[in-house]
Amino acid sequence: MMLSNQVHFMKMLLQLCFSGVRSILSKVCSWTFTWVNMTNTRMQRIPSATVSPRFTSNSGQKKSLGVNGTTPSSVNYHFTRQCNYKCGFCFHTAKTSFVLPIEEAKRGLRLLKEAGMEKINFSGGEPFLHERGGFLGEMVRYCKEELQLPSVSIVSNGSMITERWFEKYGEYLDILAISCDSFDEDTNRSIGRGQGKKSHLEKLHKVRNWCKTYKVAFKINSVINTFNVDEDMREHITQLNPVRWKVFQCLLIEGENTGEDSLREAEKFVISDQQFQDFLDRHQSVSCLVPESNQKMRDSYLILDEYMRFLDCREGRKDPSKSILDIGVEEAIKFSGFDEKMFLKRGGKYVWSKADMKLEW
């Protein structure tokens, strides 16, 4: 009788053990399945980099030359490719409509700050287009108030900006750059810088006044091309009095504004190096002018696309790294093609915090 009870007890004990093991295995399988699904979803959201086979390493990414240990002091984040203008030479076109969720974007910005970022520039596309500037405004506030970056700037065509945006977010913004390629409305329209019958120049002056009212440093960006290369802009630039006037030579980028897969055909806008120099010579009396030739532009910018991938433009196209959200800043920046010496040579490091500019508002 005693032996029978002992056998029965042992059977019950074994059943409990097996039941516990099954429960544990079931939970482990469930957790593993969930993790795999999340990973697959993320991989579908952020595409892999397309690279040239002759530049690949064991990891499958394009090798970088001389960028190990680079600090991302100044970063340009093109968080959207969508735009309401159709500039014929645009080199960051609307090839996707993707925009990261705001919390993911903030996570990436924090990673950049931890890696040494001092200045963030938000661009597009047209950055004020997404959520009517609300998304942009929240990132500007986050970078200045929570990350406490020395400099937060924006490049915009100006058309979507409102005074209400300045009232809400102006205190967090150091520099606002407005793109303007001509002071003739017909020339702007020929280039594609315009929308309907709205005056690009009228809005330019309005935004300039808002910058003064809300204490934001005002900047102008101009792309010099066949339509405006003979124009004399000295009087207009002097009147607007920007802290910087960036003058770019029209640049061709394969897959963006030239080549089979491009959304623009910018060949007709291209000018020679001599034509660009002639334009610079004509405007040499403008003290705020900062010239950027094709050579200076190509590898002197740290550019993040909408997936937070660094874009390497050294080969005349945009070869993306993997996203900093997946592999971190230190690894991704190795595939950026960034030339820090050229960045400094073109004047990329300057007084970029409005608190240090000592401007007369």
Active site residues: 83, 87, 90
Q: Which domains does the chain have, with CATH numbers?
A: 69-350 (3.20.20.70)
Amino acid letter, 135 = F
Buried-exposed string 277-310: b where 16+ CB fall within 10 A, e elsewhere: eebbeebeebeebbbbbbebbbbbbbbbbbbbbb
Q: Per-residue confidence of the chain (361 residues) as pLDDT tens digits?
A: 444 545 454 555 445 444 554 554 454 444 444 444 434 434 444 454 433 332 333 333 433 333 457 899 999 999 999 999 999 999 999 999 999 999 999 999 999 999 999 999 999 999 999 999 999 999 999 999 999 999 999 999 999 999 999 999 999 999 999 999 999 999 999 999 998 889 999 999 999 999 999 999 999 999 999 999 999 999 999 999 999 999 999 999 999 999 999 999 999 999 999 999 999 999 999 999 999 999 888 788 999 999 999 999 999 999 999 999 999 999 999 999 998 888 988 888 899 999 999 887 6
Long-range contacts made by residues 138-145, C-beta under 8 angstroms, separation at least 24?
138/102, 139/79, 139/102, 139/105, 139/106, 139/109, 140/169, 140/172, 140/173, 141/169, 141/172, 142/106, 142/109, 143/109, 143/113, 143/172, 144/172, 144/173, 144/174, 145/172
- Please state the pTM of the whole predicted model: 0.81
- CA distance between the termini of the chain: 100
